[in-house]
Structure 1
Amino acid sequence: MKSEKRGLSVWQLTMLALGTVVGGSFFLGSSIAIRAAGPSVLLAYIIGGVLVYFILSALSEMTVANPVSGSFRTYTEQAFGRGAGFTVGWVYWTGLVLAMSSEATAVSILVRGWFPELPMALLGMGIIVSVTLLNLLGAERLSKLESGLAAFKLLAIAAFIVIAACIIAGIGTVGSTGAVGLNVLRDQNWIPGGIRGIAGSMLMVMFTYAGFEVLGLAASDIANPAVTIPKAIGYTIFLLVGLYLAAITVLFLLIPPSLVSEQISPFVSALSLYGLGWTGIVMNIVLVSAILSTMLASVFGLGRMLRSLAEEGHTPAWMRDRTDLPYRGILVSGGAMLLALGLGLLLPQGVYLFLVSSGGFSLLFAYCLIMASHYRLRKQHGGPLTQRAGMRGFPYTSWFSIGSLIAVLASMPLIPGQGGGLVAGIMFVVLFVSVYSLGSRFRKPAVESSRQRILQNHSVSSLGSGYAQAEMSEEWSEGENKD
C-alpha cells in the first residue's frame, strides 16, 4: 500500500487523463461528427475545448479546496443535498459502464479481424476481465501502464499530422497527385449541415473530450493536489485541444467529408487516398491500444466513484472498501460491464451508437452538475474556494457552460441513433431519483441525525478538510424536513 500513498506525479496524472480521453471515440467516432458538420466540425471542436477548459477549471477549484475521492459526486452532494449526489453518482457510473461495454465490443471486432476463429463473446469477456484485474494493481502501477499507452496514442496522432503535412506539401505522394491542401476544400460546402449540423455534432465532439473528470476522481491518489492538479489540467488541455485541432484540420486538407465513412477511421480513409493503405493495419493497432487505455482509466474512475457512493451509504454495506484501493468498487464495476456486454451482443448492430450516446448523456449530465455545484458553492462561500483567483470569468463562464451543455443534450436527436440515448439518459435520471426517494422513506432517522451532528462540528473556514460541510449539513437537514 506504500505505493498508493506516494501519490501520482503531474506527468502520471496527465497521462492518466489523456489515456481516458483519447480513445476510439476520436480515432473512429469522430467520423460521425465529420459527416454531420463537414469542415465546420472544427468550430465544434473549438467550442468543446473551451467548455472542457471551464469545466476543468471549476473541478480543479473544488478539488484543490477539498480533495476527496468522490470528486464531483461529493461536491454535488455538498451543494444540492444527498439526493442529487446519489443521482449524479449512479447516473455517471451506469452511463460509463454502458459506454465501456460498447468499447469492449469495438475492440473485440478489431481483434477478431486478426483472429476470426475466436468468438466475440469470449474476446469481450477477456478484455473486460483483463482491464479489471489490471486496475487491482493500484494507481501507481496502473499509471505507468497508462503513461505508455497514452504516449503511444499521442505519437500516433502526431505521426498522422506529420505524414499529412508531407502529403499536403507534395512530399512523398504516390503517383501524380501532387500537392493537395486547399484544393480539396475548393468545391466543398464548408457548413453543409448549417447550425443544425454543428449542433448535432457536438455530442460526439464532447464524447471525444470525455474522461477528463478522472483528474478529480484521482484526488485521493495524489500527494499534493493543490500543485499537481492545476498543472496536470494545463498540460491536458494544451495537448488535447492542440492535437485534436491539428489532426482534424489536416484531415480536411486531405479528404472531402463526403468520402468519410462512419465504418472506417477517417484517418485511414484519408491516407488510403494517397497510396498509404497499409495504415489501416497500423491504425487498427492504435485503435485497440487506445480503447484498452480508455477502458483501463475508466475502470479506475468507476471504482473510485463506487467507493464514494458506498462511503456515503448509497450502496449496500458489503460494497464498502476498507483499504486505500477500492477493490470491491473495481470488481463490481467489471462485473457490471460484463452484464452490459451480454446485453450489447444480444441487441441489433445499432446498439453501439445507442450505448455511446447514452454514455455521452451521463457524462454531459455530470458536467452540468459540476458547473452548477461550483456556482452554488462559490455563492455560498462568498468568493473563490481557494486562495487563488479561481475560475476565470465567474459567474458568466458558468452560465455559458451550463447553457451550452444543456443545448448539446437537447440537440442529441438531430443525429440518427442519438435520440434513443437521450431517452435512456433521462430514464436513468428518473430511475435513480425514484430509487433515492423510495429509499429515503426507510432510512433510519438516527443514522441521519448522527451524520448531521458530526458535520455540524466542522467549520466553513476549514477548506482543507471540506469548505462546504456546514452548507452540506444544512442541505441535508432541509432534505430530511422535506421527506
Structure 2
Amino acid sequence: MAETTEDGNKPPKRGLQNRHVQLIAIGGTIGTGLFMGAGNSIHYAGPIILLVYLIVGLFMFVMMRAIGELLYADPKQHTFITFITRYVGNRAGFFARWSYWLTVVFMGMAELTAVAKYVQYWFPGLPSWLIQIGMLIILTCVNLVAVALYGETEFWFSMIKIIAILALIATGIILALTGFKTPVGDVSFSNVFHHFSFFPNGFGNFINAFQMVMFAFVGMEFIGMTVAETDNPREVLPKAINQIPWRILFFYLGALFIIMTIYPWQKIPADQSPFVMVFELVGIKWAAALVNFVVLTSAASALNSVLFSASRNFYALSFQSKARFLQPFRKMSKTQLPINAVLFTSLMVAFSAVISVIPEITNAFSFVTSASTDLFLMIYVLTLIAYMNYRKSNDYMQDGFLVIAPKTLVPLAIIFFAFVFITLFFNPDSRIPAIGSTIWLVVFGLISWWQPKKAIK
C-alpha cells in the first residue's frame, strides 16, 4: 500500500542514506555565523561566550528532541509544522505553516545575497543579480533531480565546513604546544582564562550575546526534515539528533576555545574573521580567500537546505489548504519530487536578485530578513506547545524516542525562547526587526484567528 500523510498526499520519495544525514546534521549545526561572526561574539562577551553557546545549545537540543519524538511517532510526516496543526489547532497551524514557509524563503533570499557577495570577492565585475540567478538555477536543478543528489551535494558542502574547523583546531593545538609567539602575544591555553570576567563589557552585552548565538543555531530543525527523507527514519533519527550536543561541544566550543587560545580574547577585533587571522598567522597568505571559499560553500549549503525545506513545507500547504490556486503544487515529478513546489519556492527566492538591483530598498530588505529570523522563535515555541499537547493525547508513544525530563526542560525551553525574543527590544540593532516581527504576529495572528477552528477535510 502506498504511503500517505494525514492530509492524503503522497510524500516525497525517500532517497537519503545514513552517511548523508550524519554529515548534513553536522553541517546543519555549523553556519556562517561561526566563520564570520565568532570574532564579534567573543569581542562583546569574552570567554563567557562558551557558556552562552552551551545554554543555547541545550535548549535547541531540547527542541530537536521534541521534534524528533514527534517525527518518530509518525514518520509519515515530512515536516514538523504538521504537528502544530494537529496538537495546537488549525488556527495556530495556519499561522505556523505560512509564517515558517515565508520565513525560510526570506532566509534563502539572505543566503543568496551572501553567495553573490562571496563570489564577487574573486569576480568583482560580475553583477550580483547574475550570480544569484546562476547559483539559484544550479541548486534548483539539484533539488529537482533526486533527493540523493541533494544529499550528496549537502554531504560535500558539510565536509568543507568540517575540514575548515578541524584545521583551525589542529593548528591552534600545535601552536599552543610548541609555544608559538604572535605579534599579540604567546599562544597558550591560559589566554582563555587570563583576566577572566563574567561581564567584561557589561551585563547588557552579555544578554545581547544570547541573541547573537541564538541566530547562529536557526535552521537546525532542517535536520529533522532531512531525516524524514531517509528509507528508515526511525533508525536514523535518534542517531542524528542525539549527536547534536557533541557536535556543538566539539565544533562550536572547540573552535571558539582555540581562537581565544591563539589570540588573547581582549584583543580579538569584532570586525574581522578569527579564521582569517589564525590561518594568516601560520603563513597562509591566501587565508582570506580560503575562508571566503568556506563561507561561500556554507551560504550555498544553507540555500540548498532552504530550497529543500521550504518546498516540502509548501507541498504540504497545498494539501492543508483547500484554496484552488494551491492545487497545482500537489504535483509530483516522475522521481517523486514536489516539482512545482520546488520551482515556486525558487521563484520566490529569486526576488533577491530583483532587490539587488534596486538600491533604494536595500534597508527594507535587511529589515524583512531580520524580522523573519525573529519569527523562528515564535514557531519554536508553538512546536514545543504542540509537543506538550502530544504527550497528553492518545497518540503518545510511550516506547518512542522520548525527550529527557520533558516536564522540566520543555517549559524551560519555552521560557528561554521568549526571553531571547524580549532581549531583542533592548538592542538597537535588533529592535526594529523585533517590532516588525511583533507586528506580523499581531496582524497575521488575527488573520489566522479568522480561520476555521478545525481543519476542513
Category of TM-score, reference length = shorter chain:
0.7 to 0.9
Q: CA deviation at 1:373?
A: 0.7
What is the CA distance between 1:147 and its match in structure 2?
0.8
- Preserved contact between residue 27 and residue 267 of structure 1 (Cα < 8 Å): yes
| C-alpha contact (below 8 Å) 1:67/1:219 kept by paired residues | no
| Mapped pair 1:377 → 2:385 | no
* 176 and 94 in structure 1: CA distance in 2 versus 1, 3 angstrom threshold: closer
Q: 2:45 aligns with which of 5, 14, 37?
A: 37
Give the number of aligned pairs: 441
The CA deviation at 1:57 is 0.9
Q: Is contact 1:184-1:256 (8 Å) kept? A: yes
Which residue of 2 is the match for residue 406 of structure 1? Answer: 418
Partner of 2:327: 318
Whichever residue aligns with residue 102 of structure 1, its letter is: A
The residue aligned with 2:433 is 421
- Quote the Cα distance in structure 2 between the aligned partners of 1:285 and 1:309: 36
Structure 1: state its 5+ residue gaps.
452-483
- The equivalent residue for 2:6 is none
After alignment, is 181-190 or 18-27 more displaced?
A: 181-190
Whole-Å separation in 2 of the counterparts to 1:154 and 1:81: 40
Shift of 1:314: 6.5
Please give the TM-score of this superposition, normalised by the length of structure 2: 0.87
Report the counterpart of residue 99 of structure 2 in structure 1: 91
Q: Equivalent residue for 1:67? A: 75
From 329, 341, 352, the counterpart of 1:329: 341
Gaps of 5+ in 2: 1-11
Moved more, 429-438 or 47-56: 429-438
The 5 Å alignment of 1:322-401 reads: 322-323=331-332, 324-343=336-355, 346=359, 354=367, 357-381=370-394, 384-388=396-400, 390-401=402-413
Which residues of 2 match residues 116-131 of structure 1 at below 5 A?
116-131=124-139
Identity of aligned residues (%): 23
Q: Using a 3 Å threshold, how does the CA distance of structure 1 residues 178 and 389 change in structure 2: closer, same or farther?
A: closer
Q: Does 1:306 align with 2:314?
A: yes
Aligned residue number for residue 4 of structure 2: none
User: What is the match of residue 478 of structure 1?
Assistant: none
Q: Secondary structure at the match of 2:114?
A: helix
The answer to whether the Cα contact below 8 Å between 1:107 and 1:124 also exists between their aligned partners in 2 is yes
Q: Is the 8 A contact 1:32 1:201 kept in 2?
A: no
Answer whether contact 1:217 1:305 (CA < 8 A) is retained.
no
Contact kept? 1:101, 1:338, Cα under 8 Å: yes
Give the aligned partner of residue 140 of structure 1. 148
Pick one of 32, 37, 48 that aligns with 1:24: 32
In 1, Cα distance between equivalents of 2:136 and 2:54: 33
| Post-superposition offset of 1:255 | 2.3
* Shift in alpha-carbon separation, 1:30–1:85, aligned structure 2, 3 A: farther
Residue 415 of structure 1 and its aligned partner are, at CA, apart by: 3.4
Would the alpha carbon gap of residues 254 and 417 (structure 1) be closer, same or farther in structure 2, given more than 3 Å must change? same
Residue 326 of structure 1 aligns with an amino acid whose one-letter code is P
Equivalent position of 2:274 in the other structure: 266
Map 1:56-205 onto structure 2 (within 5 A).
Answer: 56-170=64-178, 178-183=186-191, 186-187=194-195, 189-205=197-213
Contact 2:47 2:192 in 1 (8 A): no
Once the two structures are TM-superposed, the CA of residue 148 in structure 1 deviates from its matched residue by: 1.3
Instruction: Show CA shifts across 1:409-456 (max 9, x none).
Output: 111133332122212222333343344345659xxx9x93xx2xxxxx
Q: 1:351 to 1:155 in 2, by over 3 A?
A: farther
Whether the aligned pair in 1 keeps the contact of 2:132 and 2:353 (CA below 8 Å) is yes
Q: Deviations over 1:61-115 (max 9, x none)?
A: 1001112445221100011111111111211121222222122222211211211
Q: Read off the aligned partner of 1:249 and give its amino acid letter.
A: F
Q: CA offset at residue 16 of structure 1?
A: 2.6
- TM-score if structure 1 supplies the norm length? 0.83
Greater mean deviation of Cα atoms: 141-150 or 270-279: 270-279
Counterpart-to-counterpart distance in 1, 2:236 and 2:320: 27
Distance (Å, rounded) in 2 between the aligned partners of 1:331 and 1:197? 42
Rounded Cα–Cα distance in structure 2 between residues aligned with 1:262 and 1:358: 23
Q: How much does 1:376 deviate?
A: 1.2
Instruction: Give the distance between the partners of 1:176 and 1:259, measured in 2 at CA.
Output: 8
